[in-house]
Amino acid sequence: METQKENFRVQQWVVLVAVILFGLKIAAYFLTRSVSILTDALESTVNVISGFIGLYSLYVASKPRDMDHPYGHGKAEFISAAVEGTLIMIAGLIIIYESINNFIHPHQLKQLDTGMILVAIAGVVNYIMGYIAIRRGRKNNSLALMASGRHLQSDTYSTIGILIGVALIWFTGIQLIDNIVAMIFAFIIIFTGYRILRESLAGIMDEADEELLGKMVDTLNKERRIHWIDLHNLRVIKYGSILHVDCHLTVPWYLNVREAHVEVEALSKRIREEFGDTIELFVHSDGCLEFSCPICAKADCTVRKHPFEKRIEWTIENILSDEKHKLPGTSDALNKST
């Protein structure tokens, strides 16, 4: 619960900064009448709208689970990110329209030096706020915060390009550069929106996060205990900042309930040490079968039926399988033990 509250506080600052910077960029646009600077201002409009949407989604996500939402309200963050991505893409399309319109009906630019100073200040503040949001979002597994942070930083990169373009206009007097720069960054903005939208839809559809799974597999391989014969049927589902993890752990069949629980707790502890406390972990313990002997490295096993041959390294592919691991070519007699 503290994690969700922390995410909410950071997003409050994101919204406040977005409102202030939007006002700054609008002032720069009216001073200069530059379509490039309007590009920056329109993206800030999206910052403000999506910031409030993100704030509401984090408020909803921080609510405790209830009868209707037994896994909590974390999915609201994915919906927020999807809306934000869509708004960013719409802003890009509006910028393209304004650029084309300015090609047809050009107008005189003015006070570019003052406009550049205002936009530069906004860019620096945007980048710092984006860095804070991304860092906190990664720490707390918050897609809403990471989406806001990436949007703010993409806004900064756009600002840098736009400042370069406006500076070229100022030095050369070629006003056509204004429309060209705006068009280029409109397409960059649209691509940024697509990435955010794609990631949010992946979360809504519970798409497997290969980067997260790969990190989890590497961690468990390094910390593998002798009683952890096999790990399979791993599932990781994101609910906003909360990760819901299910898996089956194969341990020696003769361990009593307490001993098996010790192994499950050891597995849970290692995962939480690596990925934080915002994890719901459900581990089902399985007893080993005869075909497990060739992959079990426990040297002092008194009930072993077959000699140890080699340990199977856990990979994303085999750890997601819903079957217990066995060596290729295991005899039919051993297979019948399943």
- Domain of 43, CATH number, reads 1.20.1510.10
Residue by residue, DSSP assigns 127-145 as: HHHHHHHHHHHHHHT-HHH
Considering the domain architecture, whether residues 6 and 102 belong to the same structural domain is answered as yes
Q: How many CB atoms lie within 10 A of CB 256?
A: 7
Considering the domain architecture, whether residues 182 and 225 belong to the same structural domain is answered as no
Q: What residues make up the domain containing 259? A: 210-335
Tokens standing for 66? 């209830």
Considering the domain architecture, whether residues 104 and 226 belong to the same structural domain is answered as no
- Which of 160, 175, 204 is the last residue before a domain boundary? 204
- Which of 137, 170, 204 is the last residue before a domain boundary? 204
Considering the domain architecture, whether residues 227 and 265 belong to the same structural domain is answered as yes
Considering the domain architecture, whether residues 171 and 317 belong to the same structural domain is answered as no
Considering the domain architecture, whether residues 134 and 16 belong to the same structural domain is answered as yes
Number of compact structural domains in the chain = 2
Considering the domain architecture, whether residues 239 and 130 belong to the same structural domain is answered as no
Question: Using only C-alpha atoms, what is the Rg of the chain?
Answer: 27
Q: How far is CA 118 from the centre of its chain?
A: 31
Helix-helix angle 176-204:143-172, to 10 degrees: 170
- Which of 185, 204, 223 is the last residue before a domain boundary? 204
Considering the domain architecture, whether residues 242 and 256 belong to the same structural domain is answered as yes
pTM of the model: 0.54
**Phi, psi (deg, nearest 5) at residue 29:** -65, -45
Considering the domain architecture, whether residues 167 and 260 belong to the same structural domain is answered as no
Cα–Cα distance between 193 and 150 in angstroms, integer? 10
pLDDT on residue 336: 46
Considering the domain architecture, whether residues 278 and 168 belong to the same structural domain is answered as no
Q: Where are the alpha helices (DSSP H) in the chain?
A: 2-32, 35-61, 76-104, 112-140, 143-172, 176-204, 210-222, 257-275, 316-320, 332-335
Per-residue pLDDT of the chain in tens (338 residues, 90 and over written 9): 566 677 777 878 888 888 888 888 888 888 887 877 777 777 677 767 767 776 776 666 666 666 665 555 556 666 777 777 787 788 788 878 877 877 787 767 777 778 888 888 888 888 898 888 888 877 776 766 777 787 777 778 777 877 887 788 888 878 778 778 778 878 877 887 888 787 777 666 555 567 777 888 888 888 888 899 988 888 877 665 567 788 899 999 999 999 999 998 898 888 888 776 667 788 888 899 888 899 998 888 889 888 888 888 888 888 888 888 888 766 544 444 44
pLDDT on residue 262: 92
pLDDT on residue 148: 74
pLDDT on residue 332: 45
- Domain of 276, CATH number, reads 3.30.70.1350
Considering the domain architecture, whether residues 233 and 187 belong to the same structural domain is answered as no
